[in-house]
Amino acid sequence: MKIGAQEGNWVNRNVMEILVKEEIDRQIRRYPSNVVKKINLLEVATYALNRLPALYASSQQGFNKQKLKGRAEHSVEITQAVRRGFAAVQQDLLRYSVPLIESTEPSINDDTKDIEEARKALQELAKYLPNGEFSWSKIVKLIKPYLAQANLKDASSTRRFDKITCNSSSEWVGNSSYRK
């Protein structure tokens, strides 16, 4: 997982994933090659990881400490979870599943950027309002009548938004109109 921080990007890692992979590699040697080809090892790992505690680390020292802790405290659990994972996946060898593909999911940093852009857009919109105050909770109430009126105008008109008036919004005083 990558999370953008003010000082730079940092990463944390679930050490249990590595311990499960090591155990899968140990146990897979017992199976004949024709059976191994039919086993989805990612599903085995997922099955096991969902039954084991997470051991996250964000530094090399923490990583080494969690790895030692995982081996010392959870080795029996890891072995059993991986064994059950192989059994569960083998029971349904013909089952087809669509794997998840790693994508560029938005990070917390991306969300912060989007929020900042939205805030700036809201401030810009507020400049055009009679009282200069605007919030996202008021946007639908304010804009919806204008869009409805615009849709009622002749679709062939090339200057639909030249002058739009609205009496239904409490944000505007009287019969105001906006011209750009």
How many Cα atoms are found within 13 Å in the side-chain-facing hemisphere of 155? Answer: 0
What's the confidence (pLDDT) of residue 179?
43
Q: Which residues of 51-76 are buried (b: 16+ CB within 10 A; e: fewer)?
A: ebeebebeeeeebeebbeebeeebee
Termini Cα distance of the chain: 46
* 77: amino acid identity, one letter: E
Residue 9 near residue 61 (C-beta atoms within 8 A): no
Measured CA to CA, the distance from residue 157 to residue 138 in angstroms comes to 29
Distance CA 23, CA 49 (A): 12
pTM greater than 0.85 (yes/no)? no
Output the pLDDT for position 49. 96
The confidence score (pLDDT) of residue 81 equals 96
Question: pLDDT of the chain along its 180 residues, tens only?
Answer: 555 545 557 789 999 999 999 999 999 999 888 888 888 899 999 999 999 999 999 999 999 999 999 999 999 999 999 999 998 887 665 666 677 777 655 555 666 777 788 878 877 777 776 666 667 667 767 777 777 777 776 554 555 455 555 554 554 444 444 444
